[in-house]
Amino acid sequence: MLAATVLGLALAFVAPVAVSLSGTESAVLGLAAWAAMALAFLPMLRFYERSPAWAPLLPLIAIVYMAATIDSARRHWLGRGAEWKGRTQQQSRV
């Protein structure tokens, strides 16, 4: 499930940027996908009273989220529970 999640995030958020910067004929499609995701992000930025300048940075935000997802899985595999402010929460075994 982790691999599918990371792949999905990469395809949805990173691939359009990579394609738009590729310099190929598909770059226009990549740029259109990147612009569409930025436009879709604008209502959330307005809701949280943030600058619209954050919208094109959504792929970078997704990469940070992807890293946090991978780190969470790593911590789970190591048997370390959730951690907040130096305190850990034990995982329940199901």
Model pLDDT for residues 6-63, shown as the tens digit of each residue: 999 999 999 999 999 998 999 999 999 999 999 999 999 999 999 999 999 999 999 9
CA–CA separation, 32 and 20 (whole Å): 8
* Structural domain of 77: 2-81
Stretch among 8-12, 27-31, 71-75, 90-94 having the lowest mean pLDDT: 90-94
Centroid of chain to Cα 68: 9
Domain count, the chain: 1
**Contact of 45 with 21, CB cutoff 8 Å:** no
**Does the residue 90 lie in any domain?**
no
- Does residue 67 register a pLDDT over 70? yes
pLDDT value for 93: 61
Q: Is residue 21 part of a domain?
A: yes
Q: For residue 10, is it within any domain?
A: yes
pLDDT at 16: 96
